[in-house]
């Protein structure tokens, strides 16, 4: 008897995907629906009375200077984190490829930080850069920089980007290493014989061939910087000083759970959801076209 490739049972396939569907429904559609509904309510903190106010919360949020500031903060933070994390990772990956002996040890050491939880990464950064006891701030002061992330917004942002990017570098490194290994040696050798310098070889052969990896990492890093950095912000700056590091996600938390303005917080989540959908659509539609998949 030959094995059948389709299921004999009509219900079984549905049953098999049911857990996945259930998880999506419970953990995505349900809360998303709740957020949509909540974003049009004005409710007292204890949830005893609520009024349906249509889009009043959205109107309020979108003209709120604090929210507009938060958008600016998020753009700066996400771009800086993605650029730093990817740039450093690429550099390290290219260098690690050149290592002849002990490649494995180098790689393992580079990948390690990825296992660190975001909040802990933040705390590490906080300790290193702590104005009074941090070893790095001691060095900075030796060079005449008045390092003070607790009062200086720019310093706080640098600290945050450093902590967020540091953690992501190892992840990017891993993918760049894999990408680099997929670059055909023959191409590089041929270019070398044609007299192309090392820099030239990198930018004209290696970098374009890495494009799919780079694109993938761009998506992942942006999403990471946008949504997965809550723990770092919470541990390092708490959005301060003076809201200079309050990202969109942190503001949702702050308004919803600290300030207990659930309507505004829900409206912000919905806006965030729209931003993510738009961002992903743009990335796949426009950026991906230029990617050479080799």
* Closest C-alpha among 214, 215, 190, 195 to residue 94: 214
* Distance of alpha carbon 3 from alpha carbon 88, whole angstroms: 51
Task: Tell me the closest approach of the beta carbon of residue 71 to other proteins, in angstroms.
Answer: 18
Which of 44/189 has CB closer to other proteins?
Answer: 44
* Distance of alpha carbon 130 from alpha carbon 133, whole angstroms: 6
Do residues 132 and 91 touch, judged by C-beta distance below 8 A? no
Say if strands 41-43 and 50-52 run parallel, antiparallel, or are unpaired: antiparallel
Interface residue with other proteins, options 36, 124, 150, 158 (CB under 8 A): 150
Task: Tell me the closest approach of the beta carbon of residue 60 to other proteins, in angstroms.
Answer: 9
Distances (CA, A) of 10 to 16, 116, 166, 263: 11, 45, 50, 44
Which of 86/267 has CB closer to other proteins?
Answer: 267
Which of 175/255 has CB closer to other proteins?
Answer: 255
Secondary structure (H, E, C), 100-164 = CCCHHHHHHHHHHHHHCCHHHHHHHHHHHHCCCCCHHHHHHHHCCCCCCCCCCHHHHHHHHHHHH
User: Within positions 233 to 252, which residues make up the interface with other proteins, using CB under 8 A?
Assistant: 240-243
Residue 44 engages other proteins in binding (rule: CB under 8 A)? yes
Task: Tell me the closest approach of the beta carbon of residue 149 to other proteins, in angstroms.
Answer: 9
Interface residue with other proteins, options 1, 4, 10, 45 (CB under 8 A): 45
Tokens 């990817």 correspond to: 86
Residue 261 engages other proteins in binding (rule: CB under 8 A)? yes
Site track 120-149 with other proteins (rule: CB under 8 A), x = hit: ------x---xxxx----------------
Residue 46 engages other proteins in binding (rule: CB under 8 A)? yes
Residue 233 burial (CB < 10 Å; 0-12/13-18/19+)? buried
* Distance of alpha carbon 249 from alpha carbon 255, whole angstroms: 10
Which of 22/282 has CB closer to other proteins?
Answer: 22
Which of 203/257 has CB closer to other proteins?
Answer: 257
Site track 170-189 with other proteins (rule: CB under 8 A), x = hit: --------------------
* Closest C-alpha among 153, 148, 212 to residue 180: 212
Residue 258 engages other proteins in binding (rule: CB under 8 A)? yes
Residues near other proteins (CB under 8 A) are 42-49, 66, 126, 130-133, 150-153, 240-243, 257-261
């Amino acid at each position: 008897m030959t094995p059948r490739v389709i299921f004999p049972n009509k219900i079984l396939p549905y049953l098999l995907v049911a857990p996945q569907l259930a998880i999506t429904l419970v953990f995505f559609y349900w809360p998303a629906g709740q957020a949509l509904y909540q974003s049009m309510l004005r409710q007292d903190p204890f949830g005893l009375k609520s009024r349906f106010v249509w889009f009043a919360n959205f109107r309020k949020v979108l003209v709120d200077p604090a929210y507009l500031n938060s958008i600016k903060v998020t753009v700066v933070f996400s771009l800086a984190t993605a650029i730093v994390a990817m740039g450093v990772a690429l550099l390290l990956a290219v260098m690690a490829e050149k290592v002849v002996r002990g490649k494995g040890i180098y790689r393992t050491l580079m990948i390690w930080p990825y296992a660190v939880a975001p909040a802990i990464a933040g705390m590490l950064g906080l300790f290193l850069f702590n104005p009074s006891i941090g070893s790095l701030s001691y060095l900075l002061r030796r060079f005449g920089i008045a390092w003070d992330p607790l009062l200086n917004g720019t310093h706080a942002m640098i600290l945050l980007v450093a902590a967020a990017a540091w953690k992501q570098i190892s992840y990017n490194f891993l993918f760049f290493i894999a990408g680099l290994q997929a670059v055909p040696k023959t191409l590089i050798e041929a270019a070398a014989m044609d007299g192309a310098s090392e820099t030239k070889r990198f930018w004209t052969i290696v970098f374009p061939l890495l494009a799919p990896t780079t694109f993938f990492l761009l998506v992942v890093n942006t999403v990471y910087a946008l949504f997965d950095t809550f723990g770092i912000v919470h541990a390092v700056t708490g959005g301060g000083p003076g809201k200079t590091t309050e990202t969109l996600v942190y503001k949702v938390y702050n308004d919803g759970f600290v300030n207990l303005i659930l309507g505004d917080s829900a409206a912000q989540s919905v806006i965030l959801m729209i931003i993510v959908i738009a961002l992903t659509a743009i990335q796949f539609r426009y950026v991906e076209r230029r990617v050479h998949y080799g």
